[in-house]
Amino acid sequence: MTKREPTYAEAQIQEQLASLPGWYYEDGWLRRYYATDGWPITMMLVNAIGFVAEAANHHPDLSVTWARVGVKLRTHSAGGITGKDFELARRIEEVALWRPPAGGALEGNPKKFVQSGDRR
């Protein structure tokens, strides 16, 4: 029999969320929304999240609309929030909001591209 991963208590979840601006805990899930410039950017973000999730072998639930992507994380096998969820949330955040550093050779996209979105 495999051992279930330990889940975080509510206080531990809130403590971890302090280092993940834009992420919040609701109804047993870690959640985050991203706003995009429209459908092409939305699909690129979905694919980037999919790539990271598959590489991690930990898969979020996504909600996808024209200019918005919602991400929900929990470890189903453990029945709650585990370290996997926070590690993947951090990686998604890095990928979704990455921009070239100022002064570097890369100019960056001049449009809004992907931004932190409203909670709902």
Structure tokens at 65: 């609309």
d(CA 111, CA 69): 17
> Given this model, what pLDDT does residue 110 score?
86
CATH number at residue 26: 3.30.1360.20
Burial of 118 (0-12, 13-18, 19+ CB in 10 A): exposed
Output the pTM of the full model: 0.92
State the residue range of the domain holding 44. 10-99
**Residue-by-residue pLDDT tens, the chain, 120 positions:** 567 899 999 999 999 999 999 999 999 999 999 999 999 999 999 999 999 999 999 999 999 999 999 999 999 999 999 999 999 999 999 999 999 999 999 999 888 889 888 876
d(CA 23, CA 55): 21
Residue 109 lies in a domain: no
Burial of 117 (0-12, 13-18, 19+ CB in 10 A): middle
Residue 114 lies in a domain: no
Residues 6+ apart with CB under 8 A from 50: none
d(CA 28, CA 117): 20
Domain count, the chain: 1
